[in-house]
Amino acid sequence: MSAVIQASELGKQYRRAWALRDCTLTIPEGHVVGLVGPNGAGKTTLLRLAAGMLAPTRGTITVLGERPAAGPAQLAQVGFVAQDTPVYAQLTVADHLRLGSWLNPGWDGELARQRIGQLGLDPKQRAGSLSGGQRAQLALTLALGKRPELLILDEPVASLDPLARREFLQGLMEAVAEHGVNIVLSSHLVADLERVCDYLVVLVGSQVRLAGEVGALLASHHRLSGPRRDPGSLPASQQVITESHTDKQSNLLVRTDEPVLDPSWTVRPVSLEDLVLGYLSRARNDAPARRPRLGVVS
C-alpha cells in the first residue's frame, strides 16, 4: 500500500454546515504534495482530519494505513504544523525543544538544535516575541524533530513576508532532501507550491478536481490558440478544460496524452498557475459543483 493519505467519502459537519463533504482522494507515497483550492474548499478541514485534530462525521480516512491519532505510535509518525503556526507564547524556544523531547519517543534533539542554531534563534527567547517567520520555523522544527514519516502543513507560509516565505520553504526542502519525509502542504498561492511540490491536488467544493505529478500534468496540458472553432470538433482524445472565444479566435486549455497535430493551432505549454486557474474556473462554471470527479491521473 503506497498511499500516505486515503480518504473515502469523507465528511465533516460543523453544527449545520458541511466543511467537507464526500471527499474521496488518495495521496501516494514519496511526494511533496501541494493541496490547492479556493477558500472554503475544505483544505484545512481535510488536513486537520488527516492530522487527527478532528474526527470525521462521515466516511473514513487513513493516514499511513491507520486511523489518524489512533495512538501514540500513529501520532509519532505524523508531524503537523497548523495554520498560523501556533506555539506557546509563554514558553521559550528551548522549552519548546524540551517539550518535543519529552513528548516524542523518536525525538531527534541534534536535528532540532542544529536547525535552531542555523536559524539564529535565541534558545532563551520567549516564543511569543518571535517574528511570524521565526515562529513558523520553530513550529516546523518541532514537527521535524519528531522525525515523522509524513509532515502535514496547513498554509504554513500564508502570513509570512516573501523573504520569510522563501526561507521557510527552503528549510522544508532541505528536510525532504535529508530525511526523505513525505509532505502534504496546502496553500492558495500556486507560486509557493510550484517551488516545492512535485505532486498537485486541486480541491474545489470538497471534490478533487485534479491530481497528479506536476511533471505529468504539465506535459499533458496545452494551451491552444487559433481561428475560432467549435470545441466539439476536437478529437476525442483532447479534453477541453477551459475555452474562451473572440469573434475570430479561440483559446483553449486542453488535456491530452497525445501530441496535438492539428496545424491550425498554435500550441503552447502551460504553467502550473495556468493549470490550477483553469481547473478552478472550470469548477466554478459547472456550478452544482458536486458531481463529476474528473481528471485524476497518477
Per CB under 8 A, residues contacting another protein are 14, 48, 51-55, 69, 71-73, 75-76, 78-80, 82-84, 86-91, 95, 98-100, 102-106, 139, 142-143, 146
Of the pair 142, 234, the CB lying nearest another protein is at: 142
**Smallest gap, in angstroms, from Cβ of residue 141 to another protein?**
12
**Smallest gap, in angstroms, from Cβ of residue 45 to another protein?**
9
Of the pair 89, 297, the CB lying nearest another protein is at: 89
Give 79-138 as a 3 state SS string: EEECCCCCCCCCCEHHHHHHHHHHHCCCCCHHHHHHHHHHHCCCCCCEHHHCCHHHHHHH
**Smallest gap, in angstroms, from Cβ of residue 187 to another protein?**
18
Q: Are strands 32-36 and 182-187 parallel, antiparallel or unpaired?
A: parallel
Of the pair 76, 277, the CB lying nearest another protein is at: 76
Of the pair 78, 272, the CB lying nearest another protein is at: 78
**Smallest gap, in angstroms, from Cβ of residue 118 to another protein?**
21
